[in-house]
Amino acid sequence: MFYEGIRIERGLTSIVSDHLSVRWYVGYDLHGPLPDHPASPASGIALASRYCASSSSGSYSCREQKGVWYRRKADFLASSTDPDSSPMKRTDSKGSHLGYYTHYVVDGGKARIILNALVTPFEVTENAPMLDLLWRTSFRWTIGPQQVTGDTAYGITENIAAVERAGIRAYVPLTGAGKPRPYFGEEEFTYDPEQDLYRCPAGEILSPKTFRAARNQVIYETEPGTCNSCSMRAQCTDNETGRQLLRHRDERYVDRVKSYRGTFAHEKALRKRQVWVEPLFGEAKGWHGLRTFRLRRLKKVNIEALLIACGQNIKRLVVAGERRPRKMAQAAVLRPPDPLSRCRSHLSRLI
């Protein structure tokens, strides 16, 4: 559909209704109903993700529940035409729509070559595929990135710790950094790594009390009754037992990323991501149909997203002209396949 110039979904519906081969490729049964309109996708060396719509209709069927303590709409409802898509809320419209998340891995150079693309269901959190995308891209194109830039959604402790342990600098804005709070934030407390304790703005000590194995966190608390007589209690907490702090076992890597804030390299990386990476999603949605997937099911929407990314890379290859890619990863992505590579084994047998 990408190469046939179909720009609207109703045009695709008319093609599917007339061609059995296209009906099979898109994923509709021979006698199955066709939707009146398709659904939409979300899409993230720079990482980014955006919302994109699915090609399924808005009809649902019951789905087996995963648990009764936490219920999402996707846990008990499934689309009858695209079960892999999930109901998601969009900021520009009311209600929920079926869709996916689309992630891009983009080279940090001016050419903005897309090194990898992945589509995931809405049930998969936006930050979960980051490490798999990073390691696969590094292995596939045999590159050793020196820094990784992403938005706030990727800035969880597990991702930051894994990236920093690999010797790669994580330039990601942390969640809640710089936002006003009704009480003292964690940055207002001073941590002593040698004694493993916190000191609050009033000078009191918070020592480790409990360890949460499920989340790999340590709970730091003051001694009973300490916060009751504190003059800064109204600015610190309203908890009857006093102030508590949670610290991840790998929080030292988060502290390292906090030290990057304000540096020239950190601010430059975030600016480059906004100017070089974010427009790729606008281009894909506005010109290449990424706003609404034409195909259905997870495997096929991944194929469609990869085709769109290839089209964007080809456009950059044409624009580059005589300049040519400067990095090995860019050249590897844009290099045409060897026409004799597929016949080499047969030629050797003949010889």
Looking at the domain assignment, is residue 20 inside a domain? yes
Token pair of 85 as six digits: 């898509």
Pairing status of strand 147-149 against strand 169-171: parallel
Looking at the domain assignment, is residue 341 inside a domain? no
| Phi (first) and psi of residue 46, to 5 degrees | -120, 145
From residue 56, alpha-carbon distances to 14, 80, 294, 295, 325 in Å are 15, 8, 9, 8, 39
Judged by DSSP in three states, 115 sits in strand
Place 115 in a pLDDT band, splitting at 50, 70 and 90.
very high
pLDDT above 90: residue 168: yes
Is 325 in the same domain as 277? Answer: yes
Is 50 in the same domain as 112? Answer: yes
Token pair of 328 as six digits: 């090995």
Q: How far apart are CA 285 and CA 101, in angstroms?
A: 13
Residues 6+ apart with CB under 8 A from 119: 41, 52, 100, 101, 102, 103, 298, 301, 302, 305
Highest mean pLDDT among 107-111, 149-153, 161-165: 161-165
Looking at the domain assignment, is residue 65 inside a domain? yes
Could you report the per-residue pLDDT of 198-236, keeping only the tens digit for each?
988 888 888 888 898 888 889 998 888 888 888 888 888
What value does the mean pLDDT take over residues 164-191? Answer: 81
Find out whether 122 and 99 touch, Cβ atoms under 8 Å: yes
Average pLDDT over all residues of the chain: 77
Looking at the domain assignment, is residue 88 inside a domain? yes
Boundary residue ending a domain (225, 248, 271) = 248
Count of other CB atoms within 10 angstroms of residue 171: 24
Could you report the per-residue pLDDT of 137-146, keeping only the tens digit for each?
999 888 889 9
Is 139 in the same domain as 191? Answer: no
% of residues, the chain, pLDDT over 70? 66
* pLDDT score recorded for residue 228: 83
From residue 213, alpha-carbon distances to 195, 216, 255, 265 in Å are 21, 5, 21, 36
Three-state secondary structure of 99-160: EEEEEEEECCCCCCCEEEEEEEECCCCCCCCHHHHHHHHHHHCCCCCCEEECCHHHCCHHHH
Judged by DSSP in three states, 225 sits in coil
* pLDDT score recorded for residue 119: 92
* pLDDT score recorded for residue 346: 43
* pLDDT score recorded for residue 350: 40
Q: How far apart are CA 323 and CA 232, in angstroms?
A: 62
Find out whether 79 and 57 touch, Cβ atoms under 8 Å: yes
Looking at the domain assignment, is residue 127 inside a domain? yes
Looking at the domain assignment, is residue 17 inside a domain? yes
Is 81 in the same domain as 166? Answer: yes
Place 170 in a pLDDT band, splitting at 50, 70 and 90.
very high
Is 118 in the same domain as 34? Answer: yes
Boundary residue ending a domain (248, 273, 293) = 248
Q: How far apart are CA 151 and CA 172, in angstroms?
A: 6
Highest mean pLDDT among 12-16, 149-153, 332-336: 149-153
Give the domain extent around 232: 186-248
Boundary residue ending a domain (195, 226, 248) = 248
What value does the mean pLDDT take over residues 94-123? Answer: 85
Is 225 in the same domain as 115? Answer: no
pLDDT above 50: residue 348: no
What value does the mean pLDDT take over residues 69-84? Answer: 69
* pLDDT score recorded for residue 334: 60
pLDDT above 80: residue 177: no
Looking at the domain assignment, is residue 121 inside a domain? yes
Is 244 in the same domain as 267? Answer: no
Find out whether 52 and 99 touch, Cβ atoms under 8 Å: yes
The DSSP 8-state label assigned to residue 92 in this structure reads T
pLDDT above 60: residue 90: yes
Looking at the domain assignment, is residue 162 inside a domain? yes
Is 128 in the same domain as 209? Answer: no
Could you report the per-residue pLDDT of 286-322, keeping only the tens digit for each?
888 888 888 888 899 999 999 999 999 988 888 776 6
Is 173 in the same domain as 243? Answer: no
The domain tally of the chain equals 2
> How much is the pTM?
0.69
Is 221 in the same domain as 131? Answer: no
Higher pLDDT, 197 or 108: 197
Is 134 in the same domain as 213? Answer: no
Is 27 in the same domain as 166? Answer: yes
Place 65 in a pLDDT band, splitting at 50, 70 and 90.
very low
Could you report the per-residue pLDDT of 10-61, keeping only the tens digit for each?
556 666 666 666 666 666 666 666 655 444 444 446 766 666 666 554 555 5
